[in-house]
Amino acid sequence: MRARALIDCAPFGAEKLETISKAFDATWAEIACIFGTDEIAAAREHLARALLSIAGEGGRSTDALREAAIRRMASDYTRMARCWRSSADSS
């Protein structure tokens, strides 16, 4: 699984990787229902990358990472939807 491999190979210590992994599982459990079957792998990878970038910003708890990841995912997908709508409207 690509998302899990991204987390497992990240340049953090064991304790931080465990926190990130727990945050990934908790966040995915909360948002998985939003994505269709064909979107799961990409969404999980997007989540892993979001968590890793957030975790790199400083020390955070599992819950803080989960909340920040949900905000990041919502922001990223909202931005993508706006771009898609803009390009569709200009066609």
Domain spans of the chain, in order of start: 2-89
Using DSSP, how many helices (H) and how many strands (E) does the chain show? Answer: 4, 0
pLDDT digits (tens, 9 = 90+) for 21-74: 999 999 999 999 989 999 999 999 999 999 999 998 776 899 999 999 999 998
Q: Residue-wise over 46-85: b if at least 16 C-beta within 10 A, else e?
A: bbbbbbbebbeeeebebeebbbbbbebbeeeeeeeeeeee
Instruction: With CA atoms as reference, report the closest residue to 57 among 16, 27, 5.
Output: 16
| pLDDT given at position 56 | 83
pTM for this entry: 0.83
